[in-house]
Amino acid sequence: MDPCYFINNINIKDNENDDISLHEILDIGFDGSWFLGDGQTTIIYDNKEYDTIEYNNLNKIISFYNSNELQLELKIILKNINDKKEQSILETLVELIDENKKDMTNLAYINIMDNIQKKYNNL
């Protein structure tokens, strides 16, 4: 999976603070996994700086590193949207929040969704 498709708010700077194209530091494996970083650039994602970003296509996990220390992990979860099975309480809650986000501030919405994601990851 090409990182351009789902990491659309990423910026890459070199040592002189010049913008760099994502594809200049992208290494894609034969299995669809990829690695971003060359040791001389800073990758900015979600207003945070990282040295490298790695995507493992086998387990669908994106890992963000600084100085070889894991800072953030995101997991891609695929779901059949045509599956009419009953939703979990968590999915219902997220949909309810999404439907009513126009009635709350952006910060409140982000904080709620961030807390739900953290709780979900600990299940």
| pLDDT attached to residue 99 | 84
Instruction: Give CA–CA dist 101/23, Å, rounded.
Output: 35
CA-to-CA dists, residue 60 to 18, 55, 75, angstroms:
31, 7, 6
Query: What is the per-residue pLDDT for 122?
Result: 65
Judge whether residue 44 has pLDDT over 70: yes
Tell me, what's the pLDDT at 65? 94
- Let me know: does 92 contact 73? Beta carbons within 8 Å: no
pTM of the model as a whole: 0.60
Q: What confidence score (pLDDT) does residue 87 get?
A: 63
